[in-house]
Structure formats: C-alpha cells, structure tokens
C-alpha cells in the first residue's frame, strides 16, 4: 500500500486555488511592495529612546513564530558587524544576564503573545532598555504603563507570518539606531525589494507547472518528508521554510544545519531504509558559505543522494546576503502555498494553534 493516499490537485487549473479564501497568494505576490512600504515607514524613523549614559552590552529579541524568525534573519545578517552578543528568545524566560545594559526588542504582532508578555515583564523588572513592537494588545498597554517606546505595526496582515517584511525591517531599524556601522542595511533592504519583484516571473501561478520550480518542488515534497539543510548563513531560511510548510501546507518538515548535521544526521540519510527513501533533501547554498562548508555540502550530497527520494539544491540570488536570503524565502512562500492548494487545504488555516491557545487560556 502506498503511504500517500491523497490526490495532488492540478496546479495549472485556476479552480485549484479557490481553496484560498483569505487571498494568501496575493499577500505573497505583493511581498515586495509591503517590504518597500515598511522601509518607507520605518527606516531612520524609529525612536527607541536609549539611555545615552548606559552602554548596551547585549541584544535580546523576544519573539515567537514569524516574529522569532524575523529575529533570526536579522541576526544572520548583522552578526559579523554587531559589537555585542545577539540572541533570539523563543520562550518564557530571559537569561540571568538581562539588565540595564541589555537592549530587549519585544516583538508580538498581535501584542498578546503569552510568552512575549512574560518576557516583557521580566525585562522591565530587570531594568533593561526595552522597545515594544506590536499592532496593539497587551504589549502596547504595558509600554504605556512602563513609559517605554512602542513601535506600532500595521494591523492589516491576515496572519503574522505574512508580515515578515515589516517585522524584519523594524528589527533592523532598531539595530541601526542603536549601533554605528549598520547603514548598509538600507541598501540590503532595498535590493531585497527588487529581488522579490523579479521573482514574481519565476513563481507566478500563471506559469505552467513544467516551468515553475515552486510548483514542481511542492509536488516532490508531497511524496516525501522534507529535510531542509542550511548553513550559518542560511539557517534562518531553513527554519522559515519548515515553518511555512508546517503552517501553510500542514506538512511535517525538518530543518537542519551544516556542519552540525555532518556529526549525526548524515549517518541516517546515507543508510538505505524505508524511512530514508521517503526523505527528500533540500540543500540551501550561499556564495559566501566558507569553502570548507561548501565542500561539506558537496560531500554530503554525494553520500546521501542514492538513498533518499530526491535532492534539490537551492541558491539565493542577489548581491547582498539579505537579498539572497529573501530570494530563498520567496521560494519557500510559493512552494508552501502551492502544496497547500494541491492538498485542497486553506493555506491560512491554523486551527490547532488556535485550539492550543484556547486551552491555555482556560488555565489559571
């Protein structure tokens, strides 16, 4: 018996996309214009009100889901140039080091994310320099109560994961205000707008299946358990790709990272077996990956490709690192969207997350 019993609907048939009542496709397609809007609204215009007498010694970005991923992407882009440690917090607790020398960015699109509300309270109690970022909710109310800066986000996005352009831009804008030497990020953001606009020609739903890599990748994923392998430069893309497949497509996926996976996972994928042959590998590559890492990618593919269902290599396009990251993220967005529609599933639906929140809300 085949493990896959559901149909894969025709992605060249317009009827297939009627499963998208929220218009997720339009939000993906207009991602470039929303990023451009975010740059105009935020770059050079955020007021984070840092105490000039206090030296920042660490940056903590508190965010879950799409906010956390935005923090990961920002960290990947600036970590070489940021003069202090940078960490993304995805949970309830801040490190013991949190204090007046900490810059804590509090991100929650809704403003009511439970874990981030807890983090905000801790950061305030420890005397950290906090910047709250949300559309409103408890986070905005706390900022007013604490007399801390609050940066409002537009509330028109139907899901936080679609607000990545604004979330990423606001983080980078805050970092640019707090530290010298990050002005190049504006150029990176503007290049990303151009790259996303150009990418529309490659992934449009009007482009037939045989010429559309995102549609073809969605088909391959439908027949496998995908493992997305990133590097130090592309790890946030691997995590975002996984999350988009999870939320949009309702499909299990796993994100891994080189060189660490060469010390464990490679043993599993290079061994023939029933699970291995149902595993697909997507290798994310960047032109600035260190030479040793690029050799590891080549050797890893050579060792596993005979045993797994398929291997695809995906390389971002662009002059800047952020531009290449956004190029890869665009592929993830379209692929996950097409897989959802091909499975006859609403890409906007996240009922299990809503149910979990409802249950948590009933706890005392």
Query: What whole-number distance in Å separates Cα of residue 129 and Cα of residue 265?
Result: 40
- Please list the active-site residues: 247, 263, 357
- Indicate the pairing of strand 58-62 with strand 310-315: unpaired
Phi and psi for 285 in degrees, rounded to 5?
Answer: -125, 150
3-state secondary structure of 151: strand
Query: What whole-number distance in Å separates Cα of residue 361 and Cα of residue 356?
Result: 9
Q: Tokens for 99?
A: 């204090």
Question: What does the DSSP 8-state code read for residue 253?
Answer: -
Q: Note whether 250 and 345 are within 8 A (CB).
A: yes
Query: What whole-number distance in Å separates Cα of residue 253 and Cα of residue 7?
Result: 19
3-state secondary structure of 81: coil
Query: What whole-number distance in Å separates Cα of residue 74 and Cα of residue 95?
Result: 20
E strands in 127-176: 129-134, 150-152
Q: Tokens for 45?
A: 């215009």
Helix 321-342 to helix 235-247 angle (10° resolution) is 20
Query: What whole-number distance in Å separates Cα of residue 231 and Cα of residue 21?
Result: 36
What is the number of residues in the chain? Answer: 364
What does the DSSP assignment read for 269-322? HTS-STTGGGEEEEEEE-TTS-HHHHHHHHHHHHHHTTTSSEEEEEE--SSSHH
ω before 62 within 30° of 0 (cis)?
no
From the centroid of its chain, how far is CA 345? 21
Query: What whole-number distance in Å separates Cα of residue 298 and Cα of residue 27?
Result: 36
């Amino acid at each position: 018996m085949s493990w896959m019993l559901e149909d894969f609907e025709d992605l060249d048939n317009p009827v297939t996309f009627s499963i998208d009542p929220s218009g997720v496709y339009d939000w993906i397609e207009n991602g470039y214009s929303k990023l451009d809007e975010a740059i105009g609204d935020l770059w050079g215009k955020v007021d984070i009100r840092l105490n000039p007498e206090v030296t920042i010694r660490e940056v903590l970005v508190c965010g879950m889901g799409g906010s956390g991923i935005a923090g990961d992407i920002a960290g990947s882009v600036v970590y070489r140039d940021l003069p202090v440690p940078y960490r993304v917090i995805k949970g309830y607790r801040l490190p013991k080091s949190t204090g007046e020398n900490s810059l804590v960015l509090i991100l929650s699109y809704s403003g009511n994310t439970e874990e981030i509300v807890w983090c905000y309270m801790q950061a305030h109690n420890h005397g950290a320099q906090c910047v709250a970022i949300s559309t409103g909710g408890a986070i905005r109310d706390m900022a007013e109560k604490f007399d801390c800066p609050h940066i409002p986000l537009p509330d028109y996005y139907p899901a936080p994961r679609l607000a990545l352009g604004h979330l990423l831009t606001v983080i980078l804008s805050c970092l640019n205000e707090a530290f010298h030497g990050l002005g190049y990020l504006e150029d990176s953001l503007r290049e990303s707008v151009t790259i996303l606009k150009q990418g529309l020609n490659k992934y449009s739903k009007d482009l037939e299946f045989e010429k559309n890599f995102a549609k073809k990748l969605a088909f391959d994923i439908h027949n496998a358990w995908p493992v997305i392998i990133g590097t130090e430069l592309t790890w946030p893309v691997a995590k975002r790709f996984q999350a988009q497949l999870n939320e949009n497509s309702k499909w299990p996926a796993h994100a891994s990272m080189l060189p660490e996976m060469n010390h464990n996972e490679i043993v599993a994928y290079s061994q023939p077996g029933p699970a291995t042959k149902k595993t697909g590998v997507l290798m994310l590559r960047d032109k600035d990956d260190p030479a040793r890492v690029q050799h590891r990618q080549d050797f890893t593919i050579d060792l596993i490709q005979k045993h797994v269902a398929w291997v695809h290599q995906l390389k971002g396009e662009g002059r800047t690192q952020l531009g290449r990251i956004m190029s890869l993220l665009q592929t993830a967005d379209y692929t996950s969207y097409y897989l959802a529609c091909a499975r006859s599933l609403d890409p906007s639906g996240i009922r299990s997350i809503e149910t979990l929140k409802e249950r948590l809300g009933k706890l005392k």
